[in-house]
Amino acid sequence: MTSELVLLVDDEANIIQLSRLYLEREGFQVKAVGDGVEALEAVERLNPALVVLDIMLPGLDGLEVCKRLRASNKLVPILMLTARDEDSDKIHGLELGEDEYMTKPFNPRELVARVKAILRRSDRPSDVQMNVFKIGDLVIDPAHREVTCQGKFLDLRTQEFGVLQDLLTLARLEGGTAGLQCAPVELSQVLSSIVEKFSIQARRLNVNLNINLNPLPVCIGDGDRLAQVFTDLVDNALKFTPGGGTVSISSEAGEGSVLVRIADTGSGIALEDQKRIFERFYQADKSRRGSEKRGIGLGLPIARQIVLAHHGEI
């Protein structure tokens, strides 16, 4: 049983009552407030493990609350609730820093499941313990997104810091010091969550998602790292698939193994590039669709190292 504190922010009494009932049954402590201003004060005062935040609030709405929390460096996980099934609200919330969203009306059991999943992702002791790297005079603090050299702060753009963080992640994976948090993983649930996450982006790009997810056994592994692999692969597939095309995601269980396939109807990768796509910084033909959103060539090397750390193949 857990005793972590969940802050409910909603002005609908029935939502508060039902959510509190199911969360408290699972051992969570629950506090509730009814508007955005109270939410900001409660986060400061109570330091909750997670905030369930409705978008439509009197005073400050949920999006503004989320924006202010992230601007003040509050890293508390946020599960956003919205009564409007509009992609723009969901995308805006994710861009502002929410961790997950649910559309009203919702099943309270799903709410509890999502709260638990978010807290599992957030509760990574190894990441907290490794939050400061020292390389000579260079000090890197990923948790606070700060870099100093000889005691002076370096003003890095978001992309520059992301590159630095990816390099550190890759180095730790290659060196076997990544500290995987291995536990039973519901791979079917992980894949379903990723499909839901990318369904908005697929509709916006006019790309069809062809989903064929067969039931998978529970595996032992780092659920967050595995989700990172699938997320990167689906994101790449969407970037390089033209409008009207299809991205296919399928899974099947084998004899003591699990096979996940992610394919697309884009132009494909040239044979000479296929041999090098797992090299650091290597990028295939820049003329392929999506080149305006290109990374720097670290996503696939990281994905490969995560898969190898789980004794798999990619």
146-173 average pLDDT score: 75
Per-residue pLDDT of 243-253, as tens digits, reads 999 999 999 99
Peptide bond into 77 cis (omega under 30): no
The region of weakest confidence among 25-39, 123-137, 269-283 is: 123-137
pLDDT at 73 over 70: no
Q: Residue 84's pLDDT is what?
A: 60
The CATH number corresponding to 183-309 among 3.40.50.150, 3.40.710.10, 3.30.70.940, 3.30.565.10 equals: 3.30.565.10
Q: Residue 130's pLDDT is what?
A: 46
pLDDT at 271 over 70: yes
| Percentages (nearest 5) of helix, strand, coil residues in the chain | 45, 20, 35
CA–CA separation, 240 and 223 (whole Å): 26
Q: Which helix (H) or strand (E) holds 295?
A: none
**Residue 250 bridge partners (DSSP):** 212, 261
Question: Where do the CATH 3.40.50.2300 domains begin and end in the chain?
Answer: 5-122
**Superfamily per CATH, domain 5-122:** Response regulator (3.40.50.2300)
Q: Residue 129's pLDDT is what?
A: 43
CB count within 10 Å of CB 159 equals 10
Single-letter amino acid, residue 311: H
Per-residue pLDDT of 2-30, as tens digits, reads 578 999 999 999 999 999 999 998 889 99
Phi, psi for 213 (deg, rounded to 5): -100, 110
Q: Which helix (H) or strand (E) holds 278?
A: none
CA–CA separation, 300 and 314 (whole Å): 10
Which tokens belong to 161? 């810091």
Sequence-separated (6 or more) residues with CB below 8 Å from residue 135: none
Encode burial over 20-49: b for 16+ CB neighbours within 10 A, e otherwise: bebbeeeebebebbbbbebbbebbeeeebb
Q: Residue 17's pLDDT is what?
A: 92
CA–CA separation, 99 and 80 (whole Å): 8
Within a 13 Å sphere around the CA of 214, how many CA atoms are in the beta-carbon half?
A: 10
Per-residue pLDDT of 78-103, as tens digits, reads 898 887 655 555 565 555 555 677 88
Question: Where do the CATH 3.30.565.10 domains begin and end in the chain?
Answer: 183-309
**Residue 258 bridge partners (DSSP):** 253
Phi, psi for 55 (deg, rounded to 5): -70, -45
Which tokens belong to 112? 């509890």
CA–CA separation, 90 and 59 (whole Å): 20
Largest CA distance in the chain: 61
Q: Is 152 in a helix, a strand, or coil?
A: strand
Sequence-separated (6 or more) residues with CB below 8 Å from residue 154: 147, 148
Q: Residue 131's pLDDT is what?
A: 58
